[in-house]
Structure 1
Amino acid sequence: MSTGRPEHRAWLLADVGGTNARVGLYNPGQGEPDLLFARPTSDFDDLAGLLRAAIQTCPEAHVRHAACAIASPVEADDIALTNAGWRFSVEQTRRRCELDTLEIINDWAAQGWAITRLGPTELAQRSDGVPAPMTPKLALGPGTGLGSALVVPADARWQVFATEGGHISFGPQTPREAAVVTHINARFGHCSAERMASGKGLETIDAATAAIDGRDGQPRDAYAIVADAKADEPAARETLTLFTQALASAAGDLALATGARGGVYIGGGLIPALGALFDWQAFHQRFIAKGRFGDYLNGIPVFSIEASQPALAGLAAYVEQRS
């Protein structure tokens, strides 16, 4: 969503997730964004508070333009940041911050724009396969939720479309997965991919297996589950396995649905936090487990996004293409 007319000056870029917010300063055509700060989203009451705090850190830049990636659908002036409890008007925020331009895009649209800009050292190939030229690419990844975006060729350029692929229904492939899905369906009314393959998904899976197995104790948050998995606690390890299978299954479904022969690019904050606990080989085996179309998926390369601030890079690419 756009408000105002841009000029060739510094842009404030903000990547605002349900958990963390990262803000950078960018001069179009002059390298990469400079990170100003990274803070918990809960430090701020709304977007205006975050932007004003950022503007105060660089008064010499005379910032008049901002572009923000928000973990929410972006369809009108009224925006709700679901996982942080924010609700704001884009136009009112622009006025409160005394900006000439305020652009709002979905956070995974920013990730999609990032993969049009990232270099080889900022990507790690996790499977065989060669990207087919000028074919769609899929950006996907777990953080607080499960985000996705489709990147499609348009003449000699790219266009990026935010999607809600994380909310497709998850299809269980084993009796254990079926039991977990039945429990989640009973609890929430729908078992989406996000209910399994995200930070919140780790907690949902763990609570489901605890109920199914009759384990006592308080529910664990994602941090505790990861810590216990690192200590090789069996239930936590199973939770990570179920999470990995769910993410791979969703990635394979979305790659088939979109014809993403240009590659699947996995980002988000959760997999880097898991580090060596995340099993890329197991991911790929489940990714291609689509019967007759296993060979089709085996030809699609899977990359992990290794850039430190991919959403800010994506916002920079977005600002460049609209100039």
Structure 2
Amino acid sequence: MLFAHTYPRLLADVGGTNVRFALIRTPGARISDERNLVCADYPGLFEATKTYLDPLGVQPTWAAIGIATAIAGDFIKMTNHGWAFSQAELKTQLALRELSIINDFTALALSLPTLDDVELVKVGGGERNPDLPIALLGAGTGLGVSGLIPAHQPGEAPRWIPLQGEGGHVSFSPFNDKEDEILRILRREFGHVSAERLLSGPGLQNLYKALAELNSQPNENPSAADITQRAVAGTCTLCRETVDTFCAMLGSASANLAITLGARGGLYIGGGIVPRLGDYFANSPFRRRFEQKGRFSNYLAAVPSFVIVAKNPALRGTAAALDALATRQA
């Protein structure tokens, strides 16, 4: 079944900073017409979508949107951006027959089975078990968390259930005395300190600020991009300490997720920060911290970790979500 009545299909991946659009024009066609827009340039998702669609002269029939926020009911309000809308109203505005809205990291999780080896960079661990759960997280404007739970038995064709949650907002868990002090500093400002307060672009800035205070150094208020660039270039000792601490904390958060899910199928890292670090990340404290888990250190040492370097992979996940929806409705 090709489900011709569901095409053209509109795909979107909405982050806290950018929104990425694409189309699948006909059954069996590839994802095409990819375009990135800056969220801050538009008052809402409808206006950004119209800006994308109008020059193409295409009226989509079905659409799937992965968006960086919790999905709970018709009304959607982004966590790290000002966009808010009704799903039913957006469906009407865009004249869609079907609209599926899922968390952006749920969309990214759905893309994982489609990734080729060249779209992944392995950072330690053993081999993937294709029949066991997969963990996913990634730092960008926020901290996204998801995973895939197998719905198949060994030897069967793979079928996966994606997780839709808000794991980036769990309480930050310090690993050592230094991280205790960082938590104390951030608690003065935020009260509750989530993992996202440290493991994100704004989190890098929070971490830099806290380390400057601990080291009795001035806070120059650099952007997250400046911190990572200067750390990789080796031109700023405090920036390097910030990024190394970030990578270690990400290792702790990743290990907690992998143990929770029993993710012997691997840990995958997406988002906008880590893939840009390149070899710096591979040589960072990430993997050492990931495996520092007391009685479960050997368990985690066997779990492979991968950095996702594919271009806009979440769009593939939204396409997979529409395929699954069409199959369910058949």
* Cα distance, 1:288–1:65 mapped onto 2, change above 3 Å: same
Q: How far is the alpha carbon of 1:277 from its aligned partner?
A: 3.2
Q: How far is the alpha carbon of 1:75 from its aligned partner?
A: 1.3
The answer to whether the 8 A contact 1:28-1:320 is kept is no
AA aligned opposite 1:167 = H
The answer to whether the 8 A contact 2:23-2:34 is kept is yes
Question: What residue in structure 1 maps to residue 13 of structure 2?
Answer: 15
Please state if 1:273 is matched with 2:276: yes
The answer to whether the 8 A contact 1:6-1:65 is kept is no
CA–CA separation in structure 2 for the residues paired with 1:15 and 1:284: 29
Question: What residue in structure 1 maps to residue 84 of structure 2?
Answer: 87
Per the normalisation by structure 1, the TM-score is: 0.93
Q: Secondary structure at the match of 1:308?
A: coil
Question: What residue in structure 2 maps to residue 33 of structure 1?
Answer: 31
Q: Percent identity?
A: 36
Q: How far is the alpha carbon of 1:190 from its aligned partner?
A: 2.1
Give deviations 1:217-255, integer Å, cap 9, x for gaps.
442221221233224311110100110011110000011
Q: How far is the alpha carbon of 1:58 from its aligned partner?
A: 1.8
Q: Which runs of 5+ in 2 are unaligned?
A: 153-157
Q: Secondary structure at the match of 2:144?
A: strand
Question: What residue in structure 1 maps to residue 74 of structure 2?
Answer: 77
Question: What residue in structure 2 maps to residue 258 of structure 1?
Answer: 261
Q: Secondary structure at the match of 2:164?
A: strand
* Cα distance, 1:84–1:132 mapped onto 2, change above 3 Å: same
AA aligned opposite 1:68 = I
Q: How far is the alpha carbon of 1:31 from its aligned partner?
A: 4.9
Question: What residue in structure 1 maps to residue 245 of structure 2?
Answer: 242
Q: How far is the alpha carbon of 1:124 from its aligned partner?
A: 2.1
Q: How far is the alpha carbon of 1:27 from its aligned partner?
A: 4.2
Please state if 1:160 is matched with 2:162: yes
Question: What residue in structure 2 maps to residue 101 of structure 1?
Answer: 98
The answer to whether the 8 A contact 1:36-1:57 is kept is no
Q: Secondary structure at the match of 1:102?
A: strand
Q: Which runs of 5+ in 1 are unaligned?
A: none
Q: How far is the alpha carbon of 1:29 from its aligned partner?
A: 5.1
Q: Secondary structure at the match of 2:275?
A: helix
Question: What residue in structure 1 maps to residue 185 of structure 2?
Answer: 183
CA–CA separation in structure 1 for the residues paired with 2:50 and 2:4: 19
Q: How far is the alpha carbon of 1:305 from its aligned partner?
A: 1.0
Give deviations 1:193-234, integer Å, cap 9, x for gaps.
211211111000011112233323442221221233224311
Q: How far is the alpha carbon of 1:275 from its aligned partner?
A: 2.8
Question: What residue in structure 2 maps to residue 65 of structure 1?
Answer: 62
Q: How far is the alpha carbon of 1:300 from its aligned partner?
A: 0.9
Question: What residue in structure 2 maps to residue 56 of structure 1?
Answer: 54
Q: How far is the alpha carbon of 1:282 from its aligned partner?
A: 2.2
Per the normalisation by structure 2, the TM-score is: 0.91
Per mean C-alpha deviation after superposition, the further-off stretch among 274-283 and 80-89 is: 274-283
AA aligned opposite 2:124 = S
Q: Which runs of 4+ in 1 moved over 6 A?
A: none
AA aligned opposite 2:8 = A
CA–CA separation in structure 2 for the residues paired with 1:99 and 1:253: 40
